[in-house]
Amino acid sequence: MAAKLHEDNRKQSWVSGLLKVPLPRRIVTTRKFVAQSLNAVFQSAAYCTPIFYIAAYSKTLGYSDSEGSNFTALRRLDSFFLTTLLSSVPTAGLWVPSTVFGTTNESSGKGLFLGFTILLLLNLPPRKTMSTIPTRNILDAVGKTPCIELRHVVPDGCARVLVKLEGLNPTGSYKDRMARSVIEEAERRGDLRPGMTVVEATGGSTGSSLAFVCAIKGYSFLVVSSDAFAEEKLKTMSAFGATVDIVHSPSGKITPELIPSMRDRAKELSQGGDYYYADQFNNPDVLVGYEGLGRELLEQIPEGIDAFCGAVGGAGMVMGVAQVLKANQPHCWVTVLEPASAPAITKGHGGLHSVEGIGIGFPPPLLNKQLYDSALAVEESESRAMSRRLAKEEGILAGTSTGLNVVAAIELTKQLGPGKVVVTVACDTGLKYVRGNLFTEE
């Protein structure tokens, strides 16, 4: 018997009858509408019972085929639905592998579907974004940060601006991602072994993140930094057990010579077989951690990303994200950013500035011209003003590099216009800068 798409609304399938859930006529009208509704429910996973939509979807596809198999409908679920279902239930794949759906017969089908619905009810959390499973250690808390839309600082008539809140990582920075990948990739290759000391030159956030990872894994950490960077960052590194070697900056600012001198000092200190030099500016392992950020953006913004922009220090974050975005959405326009007073990428020379974590004075080796479409220099004064606006108007407490990112993102929104999506990153938490004058200037 041919599948019936428009059956009487009062007639219930064995699924809906079992669950005692009525199926409104407008929901079973078309297969496409229910599919879209179901996907939206699983994206929000908030107030509705997903089983209702499973039953509705089953009814929409039809109850039977020529052999009278009620389970045919389940086997004909769209691939996107099955993928969404499995991703919503962490343990489902252990119990019901996707291959089962293609081979199940009628006699086992009803039992499988009943078991699977019970599994869903027991496992699906009230909100999909909140994990209820305890993590093995705090390293598992790295990543999976929220992405929010700016509502107040973006002018009318522009594209949407979405910001990934990386300040919610364990040390308050997206550098946790690269620190974990740098250490774990080195361990995997055998370059880093128990008893060795990790060495790095850093302006602060990378140092805090590496110190954090080393503390968990039991490595000693020797960091070369400078008094040009926030005192909070230096103290955070020490709190995680790092030994901090300071390179003095006479001007108190980040100069074109500062980062190279810190790197030279780190190389000098890392001589010998008991040291591992992380070398963030040349180490492709940093990209591994940031590729995860890119994949999260694809999951969080299914409608697509028209443009992505990010400030460049070592360039790992922007390049790691760009690799993922360009591979999946080739149309996405990627813009790299730097302080206007230190335009090494846009004009070929460095300069003095106070935007920590970026503007290192030279084009970073990891910067791949094939992965970005444009470069933009942003005034530091505008960046600092935007950081204050983000705190007061959007409730986002972040540093100057985040302000710089948002200034550039808004510029891109003006060019793209309504209906487009521009994404950037809130690099770290502004709590690292409260002792300075960032949030007191007017």
Q: Are 314 and 384 members of one domain?
A: yes
d(CA 110, CA 64): 13
Q: What is the pLDDT of residue 71?
A: 42
Residue 24 counted as domain residue: no
Report strand pairing: 147-149 vs 160-165: antiparallel
pLDDT at residue 131, rounded to an integer: 54
Beta carbons within 8 Å of 313's beta carbon, 6+ residues apart: 203, 357, 358, 359, 360, 364
Boundary (domain end) residue, out of 19, 46, 70: 70
Return the pLDDT at 133. 64
Domain interval for residue 399: 141-171+288-432
Residue 20: per-residue pLDDT = 40
Instruction: Assess whether 264 and 398 both reside in one domain.
Output: no
The tally of domains found in the chain comes to 3
Domain termination site, one of 20, 54, 70: 70
Length of the chain: 442
Which CATH number fits the domain that encloses residue 213? 3.40.50.1100
Q: Residue 361 has what pLDDT?
A: 83
Are 268 and 292 members of one domain?
Answer: no
User: CA–CA separation, 313 vs 365, rounded Å?
Assistant: 10
Residue 291 is predicted with a pLDDT of: 97
The two tokens of residue 108 are 């086992």
pLDDT at residue 256 in the model: 83
Residues 212 and 350 in one domain: no
List phi, psi (to 5°) of 61: -75, -20
In tens, the pLDDT along 230-265 reads: 888 889 999 999 999 999 998 888 888 888 899 999
| Residue 281 resides in a domain | no
Q: Please indicate, yes or no, if residue 183 is contained in any of the structural domains.
A: no
User: What span, in angstroms and rounded, lies between the C-alpha atoms of 301 and 4?
Assistant: 35
Answer yes or no: do 298 and 220 share one domain: no
Q: Which of 70, 100, 131 is the last residue of a domain?
A: 70
- Residue 344 CA to residue 361 CA, distance in Å, equals 6
Query: How far apart, in whole angstroms, are the C-alpha atoms of residue 74 and residue 67?
Result: 15
Predicted confidence at residue 356, as pLDDT, reads: 81
Q: Quick check: is 104 in a domain?
A: no
Q: Is 120:89 a contact under the CB 8 Å cutoff?
A: yes
- Give the per-residue pLDDT at 220: 97
- pTM of this structure: 0.70
Q: pLDDT at position 355, please?
A: 84
Distance, in Å, from the CA atom of 165 to the CA atom of 14, rounded to the nearest integer, reads 45
Look at residue 41 in the predicted model and tell me its pLDDT: 42
Same domain, 405 and 353: yes
207 and 299 both lie in a single domain: no
Do 377 and 268 share a structural domain?
no
Intervals of the chain under pLDDT 70:
1-133, 441-442
Residue 439 lies in a domain: no
Q: Is residue 220 one of the residues assigned to a domain?
A: yes
Answer yes or no: do 242 and 351 share one domain. Answer: no
- Could you give phi then psi for residue 76, rounded to 5 degrees? -95, 10
pLDDT computed for residue 272 by the predictor: 81
Q: Is residue 246 one of the residues assigned to a domain?
A: yes
Q: Decide if 437 is inside a domain.
A: no
Instruction: Based on the fold, state whether residues 258 and 298 are members of the same structural domain.
Output: no
Do 347 and 396 reside in the same domain of the chain? yes
Cα torsion for 338, 383, 155, 326, to the nearest 10°? 30
Let me know whether 348 and 221 are in one domain: no
